[in-house]
Amino acid sequence: MRKELVFLILFIMVPVCVKAIQDKSPLITGVIRENSGNTLSGASVSVEGSFLGTISDHEGKYKLEGLMNGIYRVRYSFIGYESQVIEIIVNGLTIRDVVLEAQPLMAGEVIINAMRAGNRTPLAYTTIDRELIRKQNSGQDIPFLLGMTPSLVETSEAGNGIGYTSLRIRGTDASRINVTIDGIPLNDPESQQVFWVDLPDLASSVDNIQVQRGAGSSSNGAGAFGATVSIQTMSAENEPSVRISSSAGSFNTFKNSVSAATGLLAERFALNVRLSQLKSDGYIRRTGSDHKSAYLSGVVNAGRSRIKANVILGQEHTGIGWWGVPKEMLAIDRRYNPAGEYTDENGNTFYYKNESDNYRQDHYQLIYSLRINESLNFSSALHYTAGKGYYEEFREDQPLQEYGLPEVHIGDTVISETDMIRRKWMSNDFYGLVFSLRYLKGRLEMTAGGGINNYSGDHFGTLVWMKYPGAVVKDHRWYLNNGTKSEGSLYAKANYEISSKLSFYGDLQYRYILYKISGNDDDLKDLSQTHDFGFFNPKAGIFWAISPHQDGWLSFSVAGREPTRSDFKEAAGDPDATPRQERLFDTEAGYRIHRDKYLLGINGYLMYYHNQLVPTGELSSTGYSIMTNVGRSYRMGLEWTGSWKPLTFFNWDMNLTVSRNKINGFTEHYTDYNTSTWESSYKSKQLGTVDIAYSPAVTGSSALNFSIKRNLGIHFISKYTGRQYFDNTMSRERMLDPYFVNNLRISYEPVIRKFNGLEFNLHINNIFNTSYESNAYGGNWYEDGIEKSWSYYFPQAGTNIMVTAGIAF
C-alpha cells in the first residue's frame, strides 16, 4: 500500500507542479463590485459556449485569458447576486468593470453557502444545475438524475428508477452520505439514510444539487463518509408564471406536475407552489408506486432581512420489492417478486394484493437571513419533519409464541401457528435549529455556526388479521420500541487568500450525539441501550491557481460517524457484538486545466478507515444490511473528469474512476453443519486482504451531446460499472457482473410567442436492452466443510421509454 500511495501522490502532483505557459493572447480584465461599491471576491466569470473561465481575487479583480479577437458572451455570477451576461467585443486588451445586483428574494444563502464548496475550496465536487435537472426529470428519483456524477452507482428496487431507489458514491452506501436541503439536515437520524421515495418529484422544485466526494464541507447533520449532497430549492421568481409538465411511458408510468409563482408582489412578497402525482407499475412485478407530493415556498423581503418558508409534503404507496429475485429465478423470470407469496390448502400459489409500504413525510422549514453590514451576514433555520407510516405483509404459518400469544384451542385441536396480516409502523418527529454567521472582506471569508437537533421515533407492530385469532383483537400491538437521538454541533471554517494564486482552507467541527433505545423489537428481544459519541472533525487544504487555465488543490480531512439503529439493533443483547464508532482520514489531491475547447480534471483520493462498518452480505427481516467493524480498510482511487467541445454543435462530457477498495486482514465467520446430526458449529477463517463489498474498481460515464439548431438536442448517455462483490469474501458466487448501459434523450424546445417555454423530451433508457443487476445481497453457510451460497438480485429494466412535455406561461 505504501508504494501505491507514493505513486498516487506523484501521479497527481506532477502535472500540478509543471509551470504553466503564459499566453500573450487578447484578454478581458476588470473589477467586479456589488451595487454599494464593495468589491466581490470569488465571483465567477465564464465565456458561454466554451470552458474558459476564472474567478475574481480578494480585490474583485479578474483576468480572462486564452481569447482571440472577436465577440464573446461573458457570464458574471456570485452567490446571492443576480447573474449578468454581457456581450463583449475583444480587440487586444479589453477592460470591463461589472456591478452585480443583490438578489431581492434570497433567504438562507449563508446556511447554504456554509454547506457548499466554492470556486477555491480544495475538494472534488460536481454541481448539477436547474436546466439539466429539468430536462432529465421524467419521474425517476434523484439518485438516477445524478447518474453522470463521477464514482456514483444508482439502483432501483422496482427496476425503473421509481419507488425505492438508492445510490453509492465511491462504494459507500447511503447511510454514509450527508444530505442537506437548503442547508437543513435531511438524513433520517436513526438509519442515517435519505429515503427518496418519501420525497416524490422533489426534483421539480430543485434549483441545483452539489455532490461533494469524500468527507466534503457540510457541517450540518449526519457524518459524511463517502460524499455529501447539498440540495438547493428554487428561489422565488420575480415574474408570475405557471408551468405544467406531464410524463408517460413504459410500465404504465405517469407523472403530472403543475407549478405556479406569484412573482414579486409589492416588491416584498413572493410565493411558489407545486403539486405532483406519480404512478407506475414498476418493472419488477407488484412494485407499483402511487405517490403524491406538494411544495410550497414563500419569501418575505424586509430590506436587509429576509424570511423564507418551505413546506414539502410527500405521501407514498409502494409495492414491496426489497426481497429481490432469487438467483435461481433470474434465468426463468427476471421480474419475479416473492413478496406476499403464499399457498392455499391445495398447494396453489397466490400473492397478497396489499403487500406494500405506506408512508407520509412532511417537512416544515423557516429560514431567516440578515445582512448586518456589507461584510457580515447571519442566517438561521428552524425545521420540523413529521413522518408516519407502515408496511403491510402477509405471513404464513407464524408461530404464536413468537408474537407473545398463547396457543388457540378449538375443541380438541391445539393451534400453535396461523396465517396473519401484520403491519410494522414507524412514527417519528425530527426538529431543530441550524445557524451560521458569515464574514467576507478582502482576502478572508469565514463562517461559524452550528446546530441543535432532536429526534424521537416509535417502532411498533400490529396484527391486522389472523386466520385463528383466538382472543386476540384486531390491531393487537405485539411490540413497541422507541429511539431518541439528540445532536449538537459547532463549526468554524475559513478560506484565506494568501496571494492571488494561493488560498488556504480550514474547517473545525465538534459534534456530540446522545442516542437511547427502549422497548422490545419484533422478536420480543429487549433493545434497551444508551450510547453517546463525541467527534472532533478537522479539515484543511490549499488551493493553487497555477495560471488562468490551471488549478491544483490538496486537502486532508478527518470525519467521525456513529453506528445506525439497525447496527445496534442487530447486536442487542450481545455486548461483544456492539458496533463501535468509525473514523475516516481522507486525503484528496486534484488538478484541473480548462481551455476554450476542453476541460480536464483529475482527482486522487486515499480514504483510510479505522473500525469501518462493512456489510456481511446478509439482510435483516426489514431489508437492512447487517454490518461488522473491521480494524483497517481503505479506498484509494483516481477520478478523471473531462469535457470536449470541438464543434459549436457538439460536446462530449465524460468521467472515469479507477480505485482499490480493500480490507486488510479480514476474518470470515460462518456456520458449519454436520449433515449426519445437523448440529452446527460456529467457525472462522482468515481471508487476508479482500475487496470491500459493493465497491466496483472501475466506474465511468459518457454523454455525447448534439445541438441541432438552437432548439433540438440529442444526448447519448453511456454508463459502465465494473465487477463488485456483495459480501467481503470475494466469492464469485456472490458477485455482480459488470454492466454497460446506454440511454438516449432527445429534447425539443420550439419557440412560440404565446408561451414562455415549451419543451418535449423523449427518453429511451437501456436502448440496447442490456440484462443486468445493479444490486444484490446474500450469504453462505457450510455443510461438512463444503461452502453453500444463497443470494437475491435486483434486475433493472430492459429497453423502456418515457415521453415528457412541459409548457410554461
In 51-195, where does DSSP find H-type helix? 109-115, 130-136, 142-145
Three-class HEC string of 3-16: HHHHHHHHHHHHHH
303 to 36, 306, 373: CA distances (angstroms): 14, 7, 12
Beta strands in 182-304 (DSSP E): 184-185, 206-213, 227-233, 241-249, 253-261, 269-280, 289-302
Helix (H, G, I), strand (E, B) or coil at 730: coil
**Same domain as 342, residue 489:** yes
What CATH number corresponds to the domain at position 89?
Answer: 2.60.40.1120
What is the CB-side half-sphere exposure of residue 48 using CA atoms within 13 A? 13
CA–CA separation, 274 vs 272, rounded Å? 7
Asked whether residue 211 is assigned to any structural domain, the reply reads no
Q: Which tens digit of pLDDT belongs to each residue from 558-581?
A: 999 999 998 888 877 777 778 889
CA–CA separation, 75 vs 95, rounded Å? 15
CA–CA separation, 221 vs 489, rounded Å? 9
Residues of the chain below pLDDT 50: 1-23, 105, 617, 619-620, 622-624
Last residue of a domain, one of 102, 131, 152: 102
> What per-residue confidence (pLDDT) applies to 746?
95
> What per-residue confidence (pLDDT) applies to 109?
59
Give DSSP secondary structure letters for 608-639.
EEEEEEEEEEEE-TTSPEEEEEEEEEEEEEEE
Asked whether residue 489 is assigned to any structural domain, the reply reads yes
> What per-residue confidence (pLDDT) applies to 8?
44
Last residue of a domain, one of 49, 80, 102: 102
Asked whether residue 281 is assigned to any structural domain, the reply reads yes
Task: Report the alpha-carbon angle 306-312-318, nearest 5.
Answer: 165
CA–CA separation, 655 vs 603, rounded Å? 11
Asked whether residue 261 is assigned to any structural domain, the reply reads yes
> What per-residue confidence (pLDDT) applies to 66?
80
Average pLDDT, the chain: 89
What CATH number corresponds to the domain at position 683?
Answer: 2.40.170.20
Asked whether residue 705 is assigned to any structural domain, the reply reads yes
In the sheet where 70-77 sits, what is the strand order?
53-55, 44-47, 70-77, 84-90
Asked whether residue 206 is assigned to any structural domain, the reply reads no
Residues spanned by the domain of 92? 1-102
Asked whether residue 122 is assigned to any structural domain, the reply reads no
Last residue of a domain, one of 102, 127, 145: 102
Q: Which tens digit of pLDDT belongs to each residue from 137-195?
A: 888 999 999 999 999 999 999 999 999 999 999 999 999 999 999 999 999 999 999 99
**How many structural domains is the chain composed of?**
2
Asked whether residue 702 is assigned to any structural domain, the reply reads yes
Which residues lie closer than 8 Å to 709 by C-beta, 6 or more apart? Answer: none
**Same domain as 237, residue 94:** no
